[in-house]
Each structure stands twice: as C-alpha cells, then as structure tokens.
Structure 1
Amino acid sequence: MTDIRAVVQERYGKFAASVEQPGPTSGCCGTTGCCDDPITGGLYSPEEIGAIPPEALQASLGCGNPTALIDLAPGQVVLDLGSGGGIDVLLSARRVGPTGKAYGLDMTGDMLALARRNQARAGITNAEFLEGTIEAIPLPDASVDVIISNCVINLSADKPRVLHEAFRVLKPGGRFAVSDVLVRGDVPADVRHNMGLWVGCIAGALTEDEYIGGLRAAGFEEVSVEPWREYAAADAEAYFRDAGQAVGDLTAADGRFFSGFVRARKPLAR
C-alpha cells in the first residue's frame, strides 16, 4: 500500500504544481483537462463553473460530479475524500451555506496548498482542507452528514478500510454519494493496463458487485451503482494514436469500463 500511495502522491503533487503554470496539464482521471475530453469534459454546469475560480476547475481530476448526486441542505457537514484542488468542496460549501461546513481531505501537500489558494480566491469561509489519508479519516465518529468523492477511492490499496472509515464518520442516516471508476466482468490484463494508461484510475477499479459488497460489508444500506459515462475503446485508441503510441487491440474494453454514481446510506441508530 505504501508504494501505491507514494506513486499517487507524487503524481498528484506534480499535477498541482503544474496547474498555475502555462501549458497543458494531465492527471489521474483526466488526460487532457480539456472540455471535450471524454473523461473529464462536461462534468460541471455553466452555473457551477461560474461559481468557482478557474484554477479550481483546471485542477479537477475527476471522472464525475459528486455534487450533482445528492441534495445538500443548509447547515449540513460534507466531507470530500481526496479533495484535490478543491472544486467539489467549494461547490458543496456554497450549497450548505454559512451554517454548514465542507471538509476536504487530501494526502498531498501541494494539492492542499492549491485548494487553500482556490478557497481564498473564491472567498469561501465555511470550508476546511485537512491533511491525511482516506484510510484514516481525521474526524470524529458520527460527525459528517454527507461523504462525497470524485474518482479517488479506486486509487486506494485498502478499499475496505476506506469504506469502513466512511461509515464511521457518518452520522446515523448519513449518506455516501461518490463518483468512481468501475469495471464490468473480467478484462484481459493487457487491455486493463492499456486502458489504465489512458484513464489512470482504471488500474484499481472495482467491479459493480465488489463495490456493492464492500459497502454492505461496511454496514451501509440502500446501496446502488448508476453507470453514467462509458469509456470506449475507440476514444482510447484515438488518444494513443494522437500521442504517437502503439497499443494492441482494445476492443475487449468496450462496455467494460465506466464512471458511475455510487450511493449508500448509514442506517439510523436503533
């Protein structure tokens, strides 16, 4: 787990350092960061984009929009696991209002620094960015109303621990609403590897059944997975072709990899 964590931390740190520099950037779930990118493009509405600093959008490495998954109410406490440049924390903070709180948790110092700069640019005071890992959330038991995450849990080498930690910090009745990358069925190792070079988060993707089973084992109920954007082999092949890289046949990837909305609820105390 340490090796995986170090690789992820190094990659995200380099991305954070590049965000405010001229030129293209690339990240885990987004290879280009462009609005027409089939992974990262079109995730946020014009209204959402207008409510945050451009640097927060540029630093978005997600494959979904977890803030669109769930209704947030004034006064609620929200936690974003793997908050990166802070886009989802800032959007959540606006929705829960001054009586609420939005926490972002990240293990990469450069990303935390970038998120805090974005918070200052946005003039948001009801957000806080915490340093730590999603396997050991630095918040008390039953202190959070909603957990969100944007294609980060798949990067963990200990996903059961992440889900148990999420369950621990949620209040009874609290909700889990994340975007993540998932895979359907068995995929040949070479195809998974090559798709992973395009969509970096694929390497650790769980199947739908594994994700649902993991949440239930952690104690969650009302578990569901809603696929919303499939990753086509043709898009990956075009990416490699444009980059001048040769890869094998990726046909077996069609219909197998997708970003999805994963929802669950912590049971009410009995």
Structure 2
Amino acid sequence: MENKNELKKIVKEKYAQIAAKKNSESCCDNYSCCAEDVDYSNLQDDYTGEAGYMPDADLGLGCGIPTKHAGIKEGDVVVDLGSGAGNDAFVACAIVGAKGKVIGIDMTEEMIRKAETNKSKLGYDNVFFKLGDIENIPLEDNIADVVISNCVLNLVPDKRKAFAEIYRILKPGAHFCVSDIVSTGEMTEEFKKSAELYAGCVSGAIPEKEYLKIIEDTCFKKIEIKTSKKIELPDELLKKYLDEKESANFKKSSVGLRSITVTAYK
C-alpha cells in the first residue's frame, strides 16, 4: 500500500476529476466507490424529498444521509467534513435556518469551486466552504454544535487523527453524525494493495469494531450506530482486482462491507 501522502494525492486527483465533470456518464460520477465499469448504486441513498436538496450538488458520493440522524437544530453551527459539491451542507442549512451556520471542509479545490457555484445559485449567506484537510481541520476549537460527514472518513489514512480533530472542533457536549463504510473483517492483501480501490473506499475501510474503538479511544461518549446496511461487492469489481481463485476465496470468507451511520458525543 502506498504511503499516506501518496494515497491522499490519489484521492484528491480522483475527486477532482469527478468535480470537473458536469454530466455524469461513468460510474465514478454516480457512485461513491469509483472503479471503471463497476456499478455501486447500492451505496447511494436517495436524497429526493429532503429539505434543502439540490440535485446539482448531489454527485452520488455518499453512503447514507447523516443529516437524517444528526439531531441538527435551528441555529446550530454545523461542520460538514468532505463537503464535496455541497449536498449535505445545503440539506443541513435548511435545518439550521437563517440563525445557524454551515461550514463545509474539502481538500479538493475543484470541489470547493463547484460548491461555491452551487451556493451562488441558492443565494445562501450562512454557508461557507473552506479548503482543508480532515486530519488538520482549519477551524478553531469548540466551534461546532454538530459535525457531519458522508462516506469520507474511510478515505482518510489516519482515522485516529481525523476523529481527534472532530473532537477538538466540537463544543463540549456536542456530537457528530457520520455515514461511512466499514468492513466486517480484515480486507485481503489483494484488495489493500490497490490504491485505486483505496480511493474508491473499498480497501480504505477498516473493521467495524476497530472503527468504533477509535471513536471510543478519542474519548467520545454515547456511541450509537443509527443505521447499518450490508454492501454487496459486485462481480465486476472482484473480476477487476482478483483472479478466479482469489475471488472464490473472498466470497467464502467472512469479509464484507457495511454502510453505517454512527453518532457520538464529546
């Protein structure tokens, strides 16, 4: 597996390509995990009908709807990590109202530009997008009432640092709600060695127990999984990265992927 800086570069380049495309025709623009000619539609949840939903901001990069379970209130300050084109930020803005504020953080310049374009169409003056790294969030301590994230932390090489940063920016007693991809066992080395799969969130997933332990070790309390959904890896993906024997062994193993939405309090 590549080192952390190389992985970040790969992720950044891939998501810059996604942001640059207006009309999506490839799976990379429609589904969170990007692998050419692979359908990942079972990851994406339907935002249609959510207040504040803007189709232009929905690049199909999520694996849940964290705003549904985040307990966001009117007047809250919400920070959206990996805000992309602004989809979850705009949904959150509809909840916090004019008295609240939403700050989106993304490490890809192209995504920030796309989000700002969408914001200008909506005319919001209480939504802000900042270029930044989730492992070093460019915000002061104790600023957020709620932190949300949608299928992004699995892309972060140092998840402990990411959750420590979430803890730092939350107000005392505040909470986060993130949707993410976890595994139900250790991914095979064949999967882990693929940087493209990492950028697509497959080999970047860690076991659910390890994921929750990181949250606990960061001193978060009242950890709760709000939703959990099994993700079936399509045969196209297995054929792309595994030979016939490896694919058969993988299917027989206990390893799998789940989309979870989890909350916890500072």
Structure 1 length as normaliser, TM-score? 0.84
The equivalent of 2:26 in structure 1 is: 24
Q: Partners of 2:163 and 2:24 in 1: how far apart?
A: 38
The equivalent of 2:235 in structure 1 is: 237
Q: Partners of 2:238 and 2:188 in 1: how far apart?
A: 19
Alignment of 1:107-256 (within 5 A): 107-190=107-190, 197=197, 200-233=200-233, 236-237=234-235, 248-249=247-248, 250-252=250-252, 256=256
The equivalent of 1:39 in structure 2 is: 43
Consecutive unaligned residues of structure 1, counting only runs of 5 or more, are none
The equivalent of 1:5 in structure 2 is: 8
1:222-259: CA deviations, max 9, x gaps?
Answer: 113355221124xx115667x9x976324146762111
The amino acid of 2:7's aligned partner reads: I
Q: Partners of 2:210 and 2:200 in 1: how far apart?
A: 20
- Does the 8 Å contact 2:223/2:265 carry over to 1? yes
Over 3 Å counting, the alpha-carbon distance change for 1:38 and 1:22 in structure 2 is: closer
- Does the 8 Å contact 2:63/2:179 carry over to 1? yes
The equivalent of 2:54 in structure 1 is: 53
The amino acid of 2:12's aligned partner reads: Q
Over 3 Å counting, the alpha-carbon distance change for 1:80 and 1:189 in structure 2 is: same
Give the 3-state SS of the residue equivalent to 1:215 in structure 2.
helix
The amino acid of 2:72's aligned partner reads: L
Over 3 Å counting, the alpha-carbon distance change for 1:131 and 1:30 in structure 2 is: same
Over 3 Å counting, the alpha-carbon distance change for 1:55 and 1:45 in structure 2 is: closer
User: How far did 1:121 drift?
Assistant: 1.8
User: How far did 1:106 drift?
Assistant: 0.4
Consecutive unaligned residues of structure 2, counting only runs of 5 or more, are none
The amino acid of 1:37's aligned partner reads: S
Q: Partners of 1:105 and 1:199 in 2: how far apart?
A: 18
Alignment of 1:68-79 (within 5 A): 68-79=68-79
Percent of paired sites with the same residue: 31
User: How far did 1:131 drift?
Assistant: 0.7
- Does the 8 Å contact 1:229/1:260 carry over to 2? yes
Q: Partners of 2:141 and 2:198 in 1: how far apart?
A: 38
Q: Partners of 1:26 and 1:182 in 2: how far apart?
A: 20
User: How far did 1:185 drift?
Assistant: 2.2
Structure 2 length as normaliser, TM-score? 0.85
Q: Partners of 1:263 and 1:35 in 2: how far apart?
A: 29
Moved over 6 A (4+): none
| Aligned-pair Cα RMSD in Å | 2.8
Over 3 Å counting, the alpha-carbon distance change for 1:227 and 1:52 in structure 2 is: closer
Give the 3-state SS of the residue equivalent to 2:9 in structure 1.
helix
Q: Per chain length, whose mean CA-contact separation is higher, i.e. which structure has more relative contact order (CA < 8 Å, sep 6+)?
A: 2
1:199-242: CA deviations, max 9, x gaps?
Answer: 92121212122112111221111113355221124xx115667x
- Does the 8 Å contact 1:93/1:100 carry over to 2? yes
1:39-75: CA deviations, max 9, x gaps?
Answer: 22xx134312x74332112x23111111112221111
